[in-house]
Chains A and B, each alone.
Chain A
Amino acid sequence: MAQVRKRLGATDGKIRMPDGSEHYIFGFVDITGVPDDRIFDFRGKAQLLSPLIEAYQGDEVFLTLTNLGMPGRPDLDDGHTIHWHGFPNQIPVWDGVPEASMSVPVARDLTYYYRPLDPGTYMYHCHFEPVEHIQMGMVGPLIVRPELEKRPQYARRRFAYNYAWTEFDREFLVFLTELDSTAHRMVEEAQPYDWTEYRPDYFLINGRAYPDTVRREHESELPFQPYSARINAYRGERVLLRFVNLGFQQHSVQVPGISLTVIARDAQVLRGTAGEDLIFERDTVYIAPGETLDALFTAPVPGTYPLYCRNLHRITNAGAPMGGMITEVVVRPRPLGCPPVREGENE
C-alpha cells in the first residue's frame, strides 16, 4: 500500500481547435509539489483534459484541490469540487457534491481522501453547477490499477483487472466530450446561457478535435491540450482502449477492421455473480455520458485504421468535415529482433 499525493489547481484558460478558433475553458492543472508562493503562477493555465490521476488498488490517495480563481472572469467567485465518478461506497465529504457536503471557495484547499479497492477506468469532474463546470472542461481520467500486477509471478506485466486474461501490452484513453462554442463564449463574456439550448459544434477525443487528435502529446502549439489520441501498436500486441464519455451526448464509436472485446463497463469486469463470462465482441462502442468501457484488441495487419464517431455529424469542426471525433489506430510490423509478445501470437 502506497500513498499517492497530488494537488490540483482549479482555474480557467484557453484551448485551440484545428480551425484556429480559441475557446475559453475552466479546468484543473497539476500543481503537485509547487511551493505555495508559486501556485498562483498557474492561474489561467487550465488544461483539457485535466491531469490523469492514477493509483493502485489499495493505495491511499490524498488529492488536494486548490481553487486558484479565474483570471479570465475576475467577477466570478465560483467554488469547485472533485467528484470521483463511480467510487464505490463513497461518503459525502469526498463525493464532491456541494449540495450534500461542501465546495472549495477561491484561495482555499480541500484534501479528498480515497482508498480505491476496485480497479478500472473512472473519471473525475467538478460537481459545482455541474452543467456549466463540466461543459467548460473540468473533466479528467482516473485509472485504478489492479493488485494483480504486484504479484511476483506477474512482474513487469500489465493487466486491466485482477484476471490474467485482462493482460495488455499498451493502453490508450478514448475520452469523449463535446464543446458548445456559444456556451463557452457566453460564459467568458459573463452572459447568461440557457443550457437547454446546448448544441455542441466541436467534438473531442482526449480534449482535441481531428486532426489535432493524431498529433503527438505535449505539442508546443497545443500547450493546454497535452493528450494525444493516436493509438500506436505493433502487430500482435494486445491493446487496451479505455473509453470514457463525459460529454452530454451519447456516442457510437467505430474502428472498422478491428473487432473489440469488451471486458468491462463502468470499472466492473464483465463477470456474473457466480463467475459467468459476460464479455462480448463489438465493432461499435455505444457509450453514454457518465459511462466507461474497457475493450481489448489484438493489433491486426499493419496499417492505419480510423477510429471515429459513427454519429457522423460529429466528425466535423464547427460544421466542416473531416474533423471532430476522429483519430487513428496505427499498426506497424514488429521490429526485427523484437520477441513475440506472447506465445501463439507470433504471426
Chain B
Amino acid sequence: MRTINLWVKDGYLSTPDGNSIYFWGFAASPDAPAQVPGPHLVVNQGEDVTVNLVNQTGAEPVSIFFNGQRGVRTEAGPVRPQYDAQGRLVSFVDHAEPGGGTISYSFRAERPGTYLYESGTNPHKQILMGLYGVLVVRPLDFDRSVPGLKTAYGAGSGTEFDREYVLVTGEIDPVLNAAAERGQPYRISKFRPRYWTLNGRCAPDTMLGDSLPHLPHQPYGAMVMAQPGERVLIRLAGAGIDNHPLHPHGNYSRVVAIDGSLLRNGVGDRSYHKFTVLLGAGQTCDLIFRWTGLGYTPANPVPVPLPNRRNMGVGDLGFTMWSGSPYLGVKGDIPVGVVSFNEMGEYNFMLHAHEEQKITNWGEFPGGLMTMIAIYPSLPPEAGSLS
C-alpha cells in the first residue's frame, strides 16, 4: 500500500534567455513549490497505490490520468469522464474542483515500466501548462543491491542497468501560458512552441544539477552521467503534444520497451538498436545506452595529431565542456580566456532533438531540447539513481 499526495499549484518557470513563464504544476507537499515535471512517482509492481490530489488553483478543475494503468478508481467507483452542465466533456476522469477541491485515485501497479501521469482535464491546455510527471513501476523482483535483479522489467528480461535517468520532453508556447494566467481564451490550433524542454528545463539549464535554488520549480536536471561500459537506462517520456526524434551522440541505444511494454515475444527478443528514437506524444520509451569507447589512451594514442588548440575554435559560445584532451580522464590545454566546465576529463556527448529548431530558445541556439551524456572516468554510485 502506497499513498502519494499531490497538490496542484501555480508558479513561474525560468528559461535561460531570461523569460519567466506562468505555469501549473504538481507539488509534493502543501508547502513545496509546484514543479515541472511533477514529482517522480516510484512504486513497486503489485503495490496498491492511492494518489490524493488537492487542487489549489482557482481556475479550473484538475484530474490525473494514469497512462497505462488499469482499473483506476475513485471512492465512487471506476474513473469516468466528467461533463459540464451543458454536456461538454471537461475531464477524461473524475476531477478535483478548483479552490481546494480533492479527489483520490487508486489502482494496483500491475506492470513494471515507465509511464506518464498527466492531467485529464482540458489536457490540450493543462498538460502544456505543466501538469505532467512520470510514474516508474519497479518489477516484482527488483533489488538494487543484486546485479541480476537491478532491472527495468524483471530478472531474465535483458534490462539490467547500472544507472537510470528520466528524461521527459515538453513544449511551451508562452502565449498559451500568458492567456491562462489572465484567464483569457487560447486557440490550441494556433499552438506555436518557442521553447522545448527536457525535465521542464531548456538547455543549457538541462545540464545543471538537481534542486537548484534559482530553479525552484524545475528541480530535475537532465544530465546523463555514467562510466565507460555501464548500462544506462534512459526512460524517455513524451509529455507534450508533439513527436520528437531524439538523437544521443556517442553510440546507438538499445530500445528495450515502449509504453511500459517489454519488446519481447515469448522467448524472442524484439529489442533493437537505434541512433535516433522517434518519441511520440504521450509515449514512453526505455533505452539502454552503453558507451565502451575506442580504446585510445595516452599510451595508445589517437592516430592523427591534434592541431594546436589556439588555432581551433574552442569555446565558440564563450564556454566549453571539453577537457582539451582526446583522452578520457585527461585534462589538456584550453585556450586562455575560455571557461571550461569540464571537471575531470569526462567526455560529453550531446543528446538532442534532431528537428534542430527545437534546440533553440525562441530561435536562439543553443537551447531547448538538448542535454549531454557525460562519460566520467569515475563516478560515485549514487549518480543516476531514482529514489
Contact = CB atoms under 8 A, between A and B. Distances in A.
Interface stretch (B88-96, B129-137, B317-325, B378-386): B317-325
Interface stretch (A161-169, A284-292, A311-319): A284-292
Contacts of A261: none
B213 interface: no
Contacts of A108: 307, 311-312
A237 interface: no
A102 B312 contact: yes
B273 A99 contact: no
A101 B268 CA distance: 41
Interface in A312-328: none
Interface residues of A, number: 60
Interface stretch (B25-33, B78-86, B249-257): B249-257
A248 B357 contact: yes
B251 A89 contact: yes
Name B's interface SS: loop
Contacts of B2: none
Contacts of A273: 158, 269, 271
B334 to A, nearest CB: 10
A129 B243 CA distance: 22
A112 B304 CA distance: 8
Given A91-B294, A196-B360, A113 B304 contact: yes
A278 B247 CA distance: 22
Contacts of B321: 99-100
B360 A195 contact: yes
Interface in A260-276: 265-268, 270, 272-274, 276
Interface stretch (A44-52, A130-138, A202-210): A130-138
Q: Is the interface of A mostly helix, strand, loop or mixed?
A: loop
A266 B273 contact: yes
Contacts of A8: none
Contact of A100 (B350, B355, B359): B350
Interface stretch (B39-47, B106-114, B362-370): B362-370
Contacts of B276: 86, 266, 288-291
Contact of B278 (A89, A134, A291): A291
Contacts of A135: 356
A331 to B, nearest CB: 31
A20 to B, nearest CB: 28
Nearest to A127: B350
Q: Which A-B residue pairs are the 7 nearest by beta carbons? A: A290-B354, A103-B313, A290-B276, A288-B245, A194-B363, A79-B313, A86-B275
Interface of A: 60, 62, 79, 83, 85-86, 88-93, 95, 97-105, 108-113, 115, 127-132, 134-135, 193-198, 248-250, 265-268, 270, 272-274, 276, 278, 288-291
Given A79-B313, A89-B250, A291-B245, 12 more contacts: A85-B247, A89-B294, A95-B249, A99-B321, A100-B321, A130-B359, A196-B193, A196-B194, A248-B354, A249-B355, A274-B268, A290-B354
